[in-house]
Structure 1
Amino acid sequence: MQVSFVSADGITDHAPGELESLLARTDGFVWVDVPDYDDDAEALLAGPLRAHPLVRQACAERNFVPTVHAYERHLFVILHAPLTGEGGHVHVLELDEVIGERYLVTVHGPRNPVVTLEDATAETRAVRARIEAGRLAPDNPYELAYTVNSAIARRQSAAVREVAARLPALEAEVMAPDFRRPEGLLEQLFLLRHELSTARTMAAQGYDIQSRIQSLDRFVPGEARRYARDLADQFERVRNLGDGEMGFLVGVIDLYQTRVTTKMTVAMERLAVIAAITLPITAIASIYGMNLIGNDGTDVPHLLLVLAVMVAMSLWLLRWARRQGWW
């Protein structure tokens, strides 16, 4: 847990025990970043920050759906960011924010054990680096939360763009004249769709959360609602990007399925032709085979007649199949 004080002079770190004195200062505000929610974080939220019990419960648990709750002393927001893992699995990175008049608390996780702390805290670390470098000077907790949430929108957008960058190569494979091994290609296409759908869903939910914040006139100041309006626009643009790429990807999958279905249809037609041509030969051979050729002698004229009939019937069926357009 990292307790910091953000002011016009930059950002400074402090011990958790100094929190109450930091909250009393008027030349800045407090930022508490919690990489992993533990007993110390619970005591801090329950004590000096007086967070609602439902807020503390939500911070301790994993939440798969973003949400926003307004209380008298603070605003509670949950957002998600995507992280692509191995095998096309998309990890859901949760960020809980408790935004008060004099403080911002950012809680990461709970997270999957395979997700590193660096990946889970990428947005807050990037924002902190900007403050330390003097490139960012937020005036209040709402502005700082806006900056962090903008970074989440950028990560969602990056996930959509990553899928868009990989899609043309798969499209080229689908359209290639030598269409081989379609099973692996289909799996890659559906994994891409899963990644894209996850990022798009997160952006759509983020848009709904920020739209809700805009209507909280009683609990949220006007400046914070303006930040929420801009964030809603950012999330909506990511959602629209995702919708566009999803339409393109679905078109590629439809093309793939059409080509596979066509190949199967052609293969079945050719098998039908082969079966139709060989059927009379099999039928006649089953009747005459044992009677025309023997150890004592062969009825040559009869054998030639039967063979001629077989060839004629096969040629006739082959011609008929050609007229039907089967080959």
Structure 2
Amino acid sequence: MMSEVDELLGRDDTLIWIDILQWDEEAVRLLTDVLHCHPLAVRDCAVRNRVPRVRIYPEHHLLILHGPERGPSGHIHYIELDQIISHRYLVTVHGPLNPAVNPEVANRETDAVRRRLESGRLRPGSPYELSYAIVSTLAQRLESFIEEITRDVWHLEQRVTGGHMGNPEEFLEELFQARHGLLAVRTMGALGAEVYGRIVALGKSIPESDLLLIMDVVDQLSRIKGLADGEREYLQGVIEFYRVRAETKMTIAAERLAVIAVVTLPITALSSIYGMNIIVNQSTHVPQLLAVLLVMAIMSALLLTWAKRRGWW
């Protein structure tokens, strides 16, 4: 592979795309000895980068982006895609990946672009044009991910407006998992736009046609951020609706329990007094018993009337 790339570099009419599916020593030698990439760029391709970034070197640019993949319990995997872009070649590096993620997920965007190349539907004229096709496919994936989360949000909203309460703990977890997904894709879009915005700001050496493509990528990723923000605000409204309803039910239940406690308070007080050992009777005194029960009823009725006037029930 290294000899083939070296031979292609000697041809001025050839656009080279090197897609490194798995990082190994051969990949290190290719980037270092054949393409003469900056050592820091090689290092960044070898390790996992948790934040998108751009590195501007004299002969090439390093771009690091992320795409989303759903995991269990609402977890969102960050699928890393590294790009080294020169005026002659494009290198794409996948991963490192979490062992729980299917390796085919990392190749989703590059495989789609490869199929377009093989079918003749895509004929890039520069490495940045080829990179544009890959990142545009990634932006479409981000948009599709928002669509998937929005479908879940709609189902959750229908359950909330339909009066569903169920298990509040489990339902709130579903709501917050959906919000976490939107927040993750929003972060990917926002940081990706910042990365490409940096290239636009320092793009004096980039041809105008490629610079226009980079500006379009900034617009695509910024719109991803806007879409995610809009859906997240909508979901936040659903969460607040559900929480207010649950809290209202708890408040009403607490008020009713308070009324019950207040009504039974005089009965408990008189029963406690008559249950003391200081009062000893050898037999039941019916008039006295009726008088005590009458006092209990009157006190309870007065308290119920007062609670009604206060609007407690």
What is the TM-score when the length of structure 2 is the normalising length?
0.96
Amino acid at match of 2:169: E
Partners of 2:167 and 2:301 in 1: how far apart?
35
Count of residue correspondences: 313
Q: Show the counterpart of 1:234.
A: 220
Match of 1:64 among 50, 66, 75: 50
Contact 1:66 1:79 in 2 (8 A): yes
- Partner of 1:101 in structure 2? 87
2:209 to 209, 223, 231: 223
Could you tell me whether the CA contact under 8 Å between 1:69 and 1:75 is conserved in 2?
Answer: yes
Task: Give SS of 1:326's match.
Answer: coil
Three-state SS of the structure 1 residue aligned to 2:142 is helix
Task: State how far apart, in whole Å, the 2-side matches of 1:178 and 1:222 are.
Answer: 56
Coordinate RMSD, CA, aligned: 1.6
Q: 1:131 and 1:236, CA in 2 relative to 1: closer, same or farther beyond 3 A?
A: same
Q: Is structure 2 residue 177 aligned with structure 1 residue 191?
A: yes
| Consecutive aligned runs of 4 or more in structure 1 exceeding 6 Å deviation | 291-295
**Equivalences for 1:21-36 in 2 at 5 Å?**
21-36=7-22
Give unpaired runs (5+ residues) of structure 2.
none
Distance 1:311 1:178, change over 3 A: farther
**Pairing 1:114–2:95 present:** no
Q: Is residue 47 from structure 1 mapped to residue 47 from structure 2 by the alignment? A: no
Q: Taking structure 1 as the reference length, what is the TM-score of the superposition? A: 0.92
Cross-structure match for 1:152: 138
Q: In 2, Cα distance between the equivalents of 1:295 and 1:318?
A: 32
Pairing 1:174–2:160 present? yes
Can you list the C-alpha shifts for 1:112-166, whole angstroms capped at 9, x where unaligned?
A: 0111111011000110011111111111211110000001111111111111111
Deviations 1:162-182 (A, max 9, x none): 111111111122222353322
Give the secondary structure class of the aligned counterpart of 1:101.
Answer: coil
Q: Provide the C-alpha distance between the structure 1 equivalents of 2:160 and 2:280, rounded to a whole number of angstroms.
A: 56
Matches within 5 A, 1:229-268: 229-268=215-254
User: Do the aligned partners of 2:183 and 2:228 also contact (CA within 8 Å) in 1?
Assistant: yes
1:299 equivalent in structure 2: 285
Q: From 17, 24, 38, give the equivalent of 1:38.
A: 24
Instruction: Kindly provide the CA deviation profile for residues 184-217 of structure 1, in whole angstroms up to 9, marking residues without a partner as x.
Output: 1100000000000000110011111111111223
Q: Tell me if the contact between 2:62 and 2:83 (Cα under 8 Å) persists in the aligned partners.
A: yes
**Which letter maps to 2:111?**
R
Tell me how far apart the structure 2 counterparts of residues 295 and 284 of structure 1 sit (CA, whole Å): 16
**1:139 paired to 2:125:** yes
One of 297, 303, 308 as aligned partner of 1:317: 303
